[in-house]
Structure formats: structure tokens, C-alpha cells
Structure 1
Amino acid sequence: MKHLSAGLLLAVLLVFSCKKETEKVEKTNTYSMGDFELSTDAIMHNKPITITYNGEDKDMEGFYYMLDGYKAYPEDLNFKNGKATISIPDSISAIAINLKVDDAYLDNDKKGYLFPVLDNKGTAIVGSKSTMEAYKSGNGQNYGIEGDADVLAKTLEADITANPELKELWGTRYLSNVMRSDSKKGKALANTMLTEFAAKKDLTEDDYTQISTIYRNLRDAKGVDSISKIAIAKFPNGELKQQALMNDFYGAKTLDEKETIFTALETNYGMSPSLSYAANSIAAQKFKEGDEAGFKLYASKITNPNDKAGLYNSVAWPAAEEGKNMEMASQLSKASLDLLMQAKKDASNKPTYYTENQYKKSVDDSYNMFADTYALLQYKLGNVKEAITYQTKAVGDGKSSDVNERYIEFLMADKQYKLAAEKANLFLSEGHGTSKVKGFYKTAYTSLNPDATDFDTIISNIDKANHDRELAELKKSMLDEEAPQFVLKNLDGENVSLEDLKGKTVILDFWATWCGPCKASFPGMQQVVEKYKDDESVVLLFVDTFEDGKNREKDVTKFIKDNNYGFHVLIDGKVKDSNDYEVAKKYGITGIPTKIIIGPTGKINFRAVGFSGNNDKLKQEMDLMIDLLKS
């Protein structure tokens, strides 16, 4: 990923951001953000602001968040002739502008482009500092921006101390942020808040909800249970009762129990979004059991077209893979595609965390994925041409190796050797092929050119070009960050210290037994382990994190043993009186799988988040990183 530094201009932003909230702005200037220019560096309510793009990327895009406390409202930047104009309403205290060029967000040296909003006197809106820090620690991390929980907690405390009216805006989230940074101070704040509630003569339902949340922050299960019982008795059809029923639903062991709880929820609260999830769960189980009438009943209760499409695809895909009940699965799969077409035309179901453009892209991505399901069903039902039609749509930008592989397979089955050879060459050349695609390519190529002897040379050249390109990209993405030291126990109870491994290349793979993408990547990581097991200069450590439970070590050990993985597993411990995990927090891990590659110098040189779904590619990437650090 490319990161564009604003250089000297960053200093301007820092100076501006650090002004006291009472300081008046006497003069405004344009502000540069790489190839973008903001018409003013003083953002004011209801004053139009123009963003101009002076670069050459035709596919550049951007959006901005309007911020108020912990709330973030995204809006598209709609550029016309290189210009986009926005206006900030009165309720907003800060904005964050996100700009994407060459398929990468500009992170401004990980500080982002954040601006407090000023009133008509040129004074920063109350609470804008904590609002911006909240964004950095939340949504901003999706765009390469660094947040700091301690800074957020201190800034929020200062803002609320100076402006007590902000307490209502932040509610119990204020406590959560303080608790995460300093548990001792958080406990004191929690007790103060409980005392304030105790002094009130008549508590509302919202008060009880907040008290329950305070006890959760204190990890006081008895307190949560006690206050919930009181609230439910006072508000028998209230929010806490609904939450308790949903908890019962998630904990129900039988389908009959789930249906009984569902009926109680639907009768008293109607079809809320959370109940749509419950209906989805029951419908999926009904389908699995062959209860077609039951499936249709609960599916009919889901009104959101995206949710219903998701249900249909979730039951159709396993049927496609297993070759069972494919006729009905085919009908449902086609219905999922029709529902998504409907959803794209009507943005009324757009989640608040999406801009309109992001929502449409999300629907398009879902359509491509669901088209892959429908195409596979058609292929297995013998409708090869129909399968090809929909797999062509599923391919999308061609970055999913598995989808590409099925497309080439369908073309080969239809004896479209010329197109199969062309597409296989394209996918392989762009680094989005598989070993099976190579096999299909060879068959297609030799069918078209029976006397040709240059196929191995073609593949060799493609492999070399991919290797060189990926190596160049890796070099550009290399980091040089301090690797926080740690000591963790492995499954044998032995201490493993990072300090003892200095001089070696160390790969930390952060994972959990509940993490699907983590487990999907493990066959590839097992190959990496096998390749380097006798190489003393390379160490792979699999850090189990974000995982709780009394039998955690036992469960992890069983998982590793059952799957015959030769992994050296470390157990990441929880930070005392916190929901954080020691090493994950030190390394800024917010999602798994995440791989941290530490070079022989002891510095973090690479950070890889997520899993593409291609184990061949994963292994190749690990090899390239290790080779690069060895050299």
C-alpha cells in the first residue's frame, strides 16, 4: 500500500490541531492533502468547502466522516471536473476526510486529515478534540490512521471536565474508554456514576440500561443480573427484557427452544434487526433438516432484502458444494441475486456506517459472491452455459483465485479453449491464479497448439514476472518499527521470549479457534512451517489471542492436535481488569488473522492483515518476505 506523506504541510496541520479551543481564527488558507487541495483550513458550520483534485488517477475517490462525540456519519465526496463541495451542519464538531489514490488511502503519516469545526466566531466546537481522538481509535484505523486509547481517555477526561454537558453525549462510552486506559481510574469513575444514579428519585429504563453497562465494565456479573431483574420487573416489555430474551435465544440448545423464544420476541417487540438475525438462524436450521415449509415461514419474516439474500446464499452454497437439494438451492440462489438487484435500486436499507457509494459497492460485491454460488449450482446441474454466464459476473475484478479457477473450469467443460487460455493467462499474469488454473491453461493451450513446445517457458516467464513484481511491492511496503518485547507461555507451559530470538526472522501469526479466516489459512501456514522447520534462522509463532474460556489451553491444544498442525503456539494473556490482550494490544492488533514479520534486526518489517483465500499465494508471500529479510 502506498502512503503519501504531506511533509512540511503536516506541520501546518499539527499546529492547527493543537490550538486551544478558545483561540480565534483570524485568517484562513487553502490546505493541501497530497494531490488534493482544501479551499480552507478553517472548517465552519454551513460554509461551503471545496476539495480539488490535481492528480492524474481517474479512479481516485474519497469520502468524509462528520463526527460528533463517538458518532460518525459517512458521506461521499462526489467529484465533478475534479471538484467536490461539502457543507457541515450545526450538529457536527469535527470532520475526517479520507482520500483514495492509486487504490490506497492517503494516511498523512498515519495522522489522517482531521479538522475541528469552528463556530461563526472562529472557536472550535466544544468536544472536538476528544471527537477526533475517538475517530483515530475507531473508524480511522480502517484507513491507516493510528489511534491511542490512552490519549483518547485523557483527552475525553479533559473535555468532559471542562464541559460537563458532554457527559450526556458520551454516556457509558466515557467509562469504557477510561477503563480501557486505566482500570483503577475507571473503577473510581464507575462508582461515581453508580452513586449519581442512586441519588436519582425515579430511574428511567435508559438509566437501568446504563447501570447495567457500568456493571459490565466492572465485570460484576452479579450486579448485572441484579439490576436486570429490577429493570425487567419495572419494565416487563422493555429493552433489558428484550436483551435477556435474545441472550436466551443465543444460548438455546434446541430448535424448539429457539422458536419459543423467537415467538415471545416477535409478539412483544416486532421484527427488529436483531430478530431478523434470529429468523435467519432458525430458517437455516430448518433448511438443513429438510423442513421446506418451516424454512419459508421464517425466511418470510425477514424484510430487509440484503438479509434475506444472505440467508438464501448461506443455505445454497453448502448445497452446491455437497451436491444435495440442488434444485431448491438453485431457486433460492437465483432469488438472492434478484433481491440484491432490488436492494441496489433502493438505498433505504443502507446501513448508517456506509456512504451511498460504499453501499452500492457492498451490494455489487455480494452479488458477485452470490453469482459464484448460482453458477456452481448450474454447473453441477448440467447447465454449463448458464454457469459460465453467471461466473463471468462472479469474477468481477478478477482478484479471487478460487472464483477464477471455477470460471476456467466451466469454460474448459464447454470446450471454450481459446477463451479459457486467454483468461487463464490473464489471471496467472496478475497473480490471481492457482495450480489448477495452470493445469487448465496447459490443456487449453496444447489443444489449440498441439505442436507447440513453449508452454513451460510461458509459465516460467509468468512466474518470474509475478515474483519480481511482488518482490518490488514488498520492498515498497517494508516497515521499520520497533517490535515490542514480550514473554508468553507455550502449550507446554514454557516461557518464550522475543528477546531470545533476536537475530532471527520471527513470524507472529495472531489467531483464534473461532476465527474462520485464520483456520482457512492454516493449510498454507503448515506448508510454511514444514519448509522452514530445519532452518534455525526462521521462527514461526502462532499467538492465540482474543480468546477466553476456562479450558482455553485445552481447547487450543485439541484443535492443533486434531488437525495435525506442527505449530508452536503461544497463549496471549489478558491484561488485568481489561478486555485487552497483552501482546495483541502491544502490536496494535485489531483483527485476525494478522501476521507480524520481525526481521533479524528486531524491527517489524511487514504487517499482513486478513487472508485472501489462496493458500498458494500465502505461502509464496511468506517465502518472499523471508527471502527478502535474509538478503
Structure 2
Amino acid sequence: MKKILILLFVTVINNSFSQTGKVYLKDSKFNIGKENTYIYEPPTGIEIPDQSKARIIYASNNEDGIEFKKLVKKDKFYEFAIKVPDSSRTILLTINNDQKVIDDNSEKGYSVLLRTQNKTELSKSLANEISMRNYGFYGLKLKTDNKPEVMVADYEALFAKYPNLKNDKSFYKYLGQKEQISKDKTKPEFLAFAQKCIRKNTEEYLILASNIYGRTEMVKEKEILDQKILKKYPGGELEKTKFLNEFLSNPNKTEASILACMNTVKTKYHDTSENTLFTFQYFLMNVYLQNRDFEKIINLENTLKNKFAITSSYNQTAWELSGQDLTTPAKDIEFAEKISKRSLDILHENQKITSNSEYESMYNMFADTYALILYKEGDYDGAFKYQEIVRGFNGFDSGGKERYLAYMQKVKSKDEVNKYIENEINNDQLVPPAFLSTLKTNYTAQNIPLDQYEKLKQKAELLTKTKMEEQVIARFGSATASNFSLKNLEGKEVNLSDYKGKVVILDFWATWCGPCKASFPKMQELVTKYKGKNVEFLFVNTFEKGKEEDTFKKVNTYILDKKYSFNVIFDYKTDVASNYKIEAIPTKILIDKNGKIITGDASDSTLIDLIDQQLN
């Protein structure tokens, strides 16, 4: 009778969560290690089109993912089947068709608890349901209550009902949310929980205690505990993690070394999870890309379940080979075209299968790369066609606009080009300097009075200045650049305030960031170009993992190997990145001679014009 009551309680929870629609296991028991079938009962009044799919997110100890499963009509309801990792406790899903959300349960999604066989398992699954909200927010675009204050309150209500959860690892996630509200007040609770974890004396909980020591900056205690774990559990999770970190930090990865490390993880550490193996496959793919070995590229790609993830590597390599701008000569343009087109084909096929709008977004981004490659090959019609796709989806950044104009000039008349530029300015759109110079050249060639050009120029320049100022204030809260003091590679203290009277470019980067490093050859050209002038480039290394001495060694080795003459400064604690509200890297911020931020979103292709404007 007790078991039946628990199952009834779970049904009530799921019914209240899903309101009028329902999703639940077809069998009363979740079968671990097997594919399970789920039933979807649509809300009244919602029509489910043919070919609709359940878009499902799951998370577990070693891997998480998102999958699309076709709905099969069964009488009045629908079924779908999926196998999730054994340690999963919850799945979260929406119903989609042709890129559109058909049913997202009033933007909350459908949650299904998987492990509910007793009070202990049920309580852990309910805690996992709370932690899954972040997955729903970012992966399914749901409007879940994932604010720290809300999640903390919901965890505490659950702990009141199930006090034993305070001894479970879900309490660690609760403290992580609470830390976002008050870091200092949470530290004692973290340390108290670390002691509970140590008393449990299992590898899982000892590692959790080690993580707590790490996040509370108790370096010595962490080192002592790590040594204890390694001694007690040889070949365990911590040893595997250290092995993986050493692999990741090795800058000289070869095909042989990657395959050897992957074999060690499979045989010694018995980890064949998709996420772990993909780490090695990702680096293996990048070796093949650098070697231009298309046969091995395709063979490896065919073994990957998640082909979508590898398209970024294809696009990044193709972008680097393209020259990354209109004037720099391309390298191995034939290979660049091949892998760029491959990235588009994969995204197009996956978008058709999954109806995932994210694939369409990536497709349009990568089409910009393919268009530049076609332009360098002399296929101007093709370049313009693909750049039109980018323009139609989400518009351009400054570099994208310049490329679009260049392609347009090859396939359209001067009148059409003029009309495009004039419309951009008259519609209050920001235009790069190339637009104005092109317009002036065309007007002169066509004997159009230049007073009309001068009016458009004044309007464009005023608009650019106004909008850039608005963007800076909206992002940073103030146009005044915050001072900071960081050490550089020579160990010298670097203060931003020391460079007043100079134009300063802050380039935020990390050694693991491919796009950051891809921009460095261009940045070196700029450093060389402006050497001896009133311009200072500061390359702010941030968002690195590991000890400070390891980060220094990694960065120093990389800069020396590449022979870059960069003034690198170390933001070890990410305080400067946080102060400047850096959410993604690379990010390049330009500061004028008076310490005023001109733009927080410069690119290596637009910096020359921006710097020259400040120097004039």
C-alpha cells in the first residue's frame, strides 16, 4: 500500500505541473539501461501535426543531452521512446513541429520523474527536477523559475519535507544557487557540508568535498584531500579527471597521442560515455582538419552521433583559411570550400530531421563564411546569394555589412548599390566607413552632386557616434573605463590608468578559445602597424581553469611558440572580465585617449578604422 501511495503522489505532482496536457511513463516503473516508452496526452484544443517530435532534455552524472523523438499516434494519444543515461532522474520536454513549438505546457515544459520507487528515490528525483530548470531555460527556451532566490526557496521547501536530502549531493546544488545570493554567508554551510561528505567516505562524496574546498579557495585542504582520494581509489574518478585535465592542457596533441589517451580512458578508467569520448574525437577532428585529411575527417564524422557539434570546427577552420576578411589572401581555398559546404549540409540535414531552429541559426552564421570563400574563388553570384541568406535571417555586424557591399558591387549596378547604402543611412542603420567611400566614388563616377553625399555622410557619422555611445552605456552602465591592475608575462604590474593619453585595446581571451587564437595573426599585424604610436594593446587572459602557475606556463608557452609580441596580462580571478561584463570571448574593447569606452564589440577587421578615427 505504501508503494502505491508514493506512485499516486508522483502522478499528482506531474498532473499539477503539466496542467491540461500530460506526459508519463507507459510502464509504471522506469527501466534502467533500457529504452522506455512515454505517453503524451495533448491538452484539449491543440492539434498535433504529422511528423511532430518530442524535444527532450536529460542530465546525468556523466553526460547530458538533447534529443528529438518522433511522436507515434496511438488511439487518442501519442507515444515516443528514448533511452537516457542510467543515472538520469528527470526528463524535460516540449512538443515541436517544423521549427515551431506546438505544446510547451504554458512555457513550463513537461517534466517526468523517472526514479520514484521509494521515498528516498522520489525525493532525489524531485530535487533533480529543480536543478533541471536551468536546462529548460537554456535548452528549451522555457520560462522556468530559475532565479536563484526562487530555486533556493523551492529547495528549502523540499528539504523541509525530506530532511535527509540535506545529506545528499543535491544539497551541493542548492548551496550553489544560494551562493549566487550571498557568497560570504554560504561559505560556512559549504564547509559544514564538506565535512558530511568526508564522513560518508565514498569517492563520490570525497570528490564533492574536494570541489567545495576548491570553490572556497582552501587550496591546502584540497591538495591533502585529493591525495587521500587518489591513494584510496586508484583508477577512480579523480584520477581519471586529473588524466583528462593533463590531456586537455597538453598543447602538442597528435593523432597518436589522442588515440592513446582515448584508449586509456576506455580501458583503464572504463569510461565509454558519449560526452567523454567526444572530447577526444573533437581534438582528433581538429588534427585531421589541420592536416587537410578529408578522408579521415569524413570517416570520423560518420562515427559521431552529435554531428552538429563538429560543424563549428569545420566553420572555424574554413574561416581561418578564408583570410577572414575581403583583402587577406586565402589559404587552401579548395579545402576551405569543401569543409565550409560540409558544415552547411550537416546543419541543413539535421534541421530537417529535428525541426530545431538552432540549426537554422547556425546555418545562417556559417553561410557568411561560405560566401566569403565563394567570393575569393570568383563566384560572385554565389557569394551574394549566401550573404543574402545571412542578411535575411538576423542582419549583419559591421564586417558582414562590408562583405555584403563588396559582393553586391560585383553583381549589381551602381544605382542599386547607391540605393542600398542610401536606404541603410536613411533608415538609421549603422554603416561602416566603406559604405561612405563607395557612395562617394559612385556619385563622382555618375556625376551626382556631392552635396547630397555630404548630407548622408553627416547623418551617418552622427548616427554612428550616437548609437555607439548608447550601446556602451547600456552595456557598461558608464562610458568611463574602469581602472584595474594586473601582472603581465614579465611579472610587472600593469595599470590601465597608466595609459591615459593613448588609445587602448583590451582583448579578452583564453588558451582554450579557438576563435580567440584565430584572431591573433590579425591582431599581431595591428600591434606591428601601430608600434611606436599612441596605441596600446592589452591581451587580457581570463576564464582559464587550474592553478595560476599552470595558467602562466600555458600562456607563456603559447605566446613564445607563436612568436607574438603581445603585452599579455593575467585576470586569474576573472575580476576584470566580470567588471567589464564579458559574457563571451574573444571580446575586444576600444578605449580612447581620455579613458572613455568607444565600443565594447570591436573585431580585428574593424579595429583599423576605429583606431585611425581616434588618432586623427
Q: TM-score, normalised by structure 1?
A: 0.56
Of the three residues 329, 332, 335, the one matched with 1:325 is: 332
Q: What is the identity, as a one-letter code, of the residue corresponding to 2:297?
A: F
**Alpha-carbon distance in 1 for matches of 2:599, 2:189:** 35
**Alpha-carbon distance in 2 for matches of 1:225, 1:299:** 39
**Alpha-carbon distance in 1 for matches of 2:145, 2:234:** 41
What does 1:354-369 align with in structure 2 at a 5 Å threshold? 359-360=356-357, 362-369=358-365
Q: Any stretches of 5+ residues in structure 2 without a counterpart?
A: 1-14, 22-56, 60-88, 114-125, 324-328
SS at match of 1:550: helix
Residue 412 of structure 1 contacts residue 440 of structure 1 at CA under 8 Å; is this kept in 2? no
Residue 524 of structure 1 contacts residue 615 of structure 1 at CA under 8 Å; is this kept in 2? no
Aligned length: 485
Offset at 1:467?
A: 4.0
Offset at 1:458?
A: 4.6
Residue number in structure 2 paired with 1:314: 316
Offset at 1:460?
A: 1.7
**Alpha-carbon distance in 1 for matches of 2:344, 2:58:** 33
Residue 47 of structure 1 contacts residue 88 of structure 1 at CA under 8 Å; is this kept in 2? no
- Gap change, CA 1:523 and 1:441, over 3 Å in 2: farther
Of the three residues 416, 420, 425, the one matched with 2:417 is: 420
1:371 maps onto 2:367 in alignment: yes
**Alpha-carbon distance in 1 for matches of 2:583, 2:292:** 39
Residue 372 of structure 1 contacts residue 403 of structure 1 at CA under 8 Å; is this kept in 2? yes
1:403 maps onto 2:400 in alignment: yes
Offset at 1:377?
A: 2.2
Offset at 1:340?
A: 0.9
Residue number in structure 1 paired with 2:106: 86
What does 1:253-402 align with in structure 2 at a 5 Å threshold? 253-255=252-254, 256-265=256-265, 269-270=271-272, 272-321=274-323, 323-347=330-354, 359-360=356-357, 362-396=358-392, 397-402=394-399
| Higher mean C-alpha displacement, 186-195 vs 452-461 | 452-461
Offset at 1:45?
A: 3.6
SS at match of 1:511: strand
**Alpha-carbon distance in 2 for matches of 1:484, 1:382:** 44
SS at match of 1:346: helix
Offset at 1:493?
A: 5.5
What does 1:189-588 align with in structure 2 at a 5 Å threshold? 189-195=193-199, 197-198=200-201, 203=202, 206-207=204-205, 210=208, 213-214=211-212, 216-217=214-215, 219=219, 220-224=222-226, 226-228=228-230, 230-231=232-233, 233=235, 243=241, 246-252=244-250, 253-255=252-254, 256-265=256-265, 269-270=271-272, 272-321=274-323, 323-347=330-354, 359-360=356-357, 362-396=358-392, 397-414=394-411, 416-427=413-424, 430-447=428-445, 449-454=446-451, 456-467=453-464, 470=467, 473=470, 477=474, 488=485, 511-512=508-509, 514=511, 545-546=542-543, 549-550=548-549, 574=573, 581=574
**Alpha-carbon distance in 1 for matches of 2:496, 2:342:** 54
Offset at 1:169?
A: 6.5
Offset at 1:314?
A: 2.9
Offset at 1:264?
A: 4.6
**Alpha-carbon distance in 2 for matches of 1:585, 1:338:** 38
SS at match of 2:259: helix
CA offsets per residue over residues 541-568 of structure 1, 9 Å max, x none?
A: 9876545632878968997998777x8x
Residue number in structure 1 paired with 2:326: none
**Alpha-carbon distance in 2 for matches of 1:161, 1:71:** 21
- Gap change, CA 1:293 and 1:403, over 3 Å in 2: same
Q: TM-score, normalised by structure 2?
A: 0.58
**Alpha-carbon distance in 2 for matches of 1:165, 1:305:** 42
- Gap change, CA 1:304 and 1:146, over 3 Å in 2: closer
SS at match of 1:332: helix
Residue number in structure 2 paired with 1:170: 170
**Alpha-carbon distance in 2 for matches of 1:330, 1:475:** 37
Residue 411 of structure 1 contacts residue 420 of structure 1 at CA under 8 Å; is this kept in 2? yes
Residue 175 of structure 1 contacts residue 189 of structure 1 at CA under 8 Å; is this kept in 2? no
| Higher mean C-alpha displacement, 395-404 vs 333-342 | 395-404
CA offsets per residue over residues 106-140 of structure 1, 9 Å max, x none?
A: xxxxxxxxxxxxxxxxxxxx989x969x97xx979
Offset at 1:428?
A: 5.3
Offset at 1:588?
A: 6.8
Residue 159 of structure 2 contacts residue 165 of structure 2 at CA under 8 Å; is this kept in 1? yes
Offset at 1:257?
A: 0.9
- Gap change, CA 1:570 and 1:314, over 3 Å in 2: closer
Q: What is the identity, as a one-letter code, of the residue corresponding to 2:106?
A: I
Q: What is the identity, as a one-letter code, of the residue corresponding to 2:190?
A: G
Residue 488 of structure 1 contacts residue 572 of structure 1 at CA under 8 Å; is this kept in 2? no
| Higher mean C-alpha displacement, 268-277 vs 83-92 | 83-92
Offset at 1:305?
A: 3.1
Of the three residues 157, 180, 186, the one matched with 2:190 is: 186
Residue 372 of structure 2 contacts residue 383 of structure 2 at CA under 8 Å; is this kept in 1? yes
CA offsets per residue over residues 385-413 of structure 1, 9 Å max, x none?
A: 22222222233433222122222222323
Residue 312 of structure 1 contacts residue 336 of structure 1 at CA under 8 Å; is this kept in 2? yes
**Alpha-carbon distance in 2 for matches of 1:241, 1:558:** 26
Offset at 1:186?
A: 2.9
Q: Any stretches of 5+ residues in structure 1 without a counterpart?
A: 1-42, 50-64, 94-125, 348-355, 575-580, 624-631
Residue 405 of structure 1 contacts residue 437 of structure 1 at CA under 8 Å; is this kept in 2? yes
CA offsets per residue over residues 482-533 of structure 1, 9 Å max, x none?
A: x9999846658669699x99xx9x9996835546569779799999x99997
Offset at 1:190?
A: 1.0
RMSD: 6.2
Offset at 1:438?
A: 3.2
Residue 94 of structure 2 contacts residue 104 of structure 2 at CA under 8 Å; is this kept in 1? no
**Alpha-carbon distance in 2 for matches of 1:162, 1:76:** 32
Q: What is the identity, as a one-letter code, of the residue corresponding to 1:398?
A: G
Residue 384 of structure 2 contacts residue 408 of structure 2 at CA under 8 Å; is this kept in 1? yes
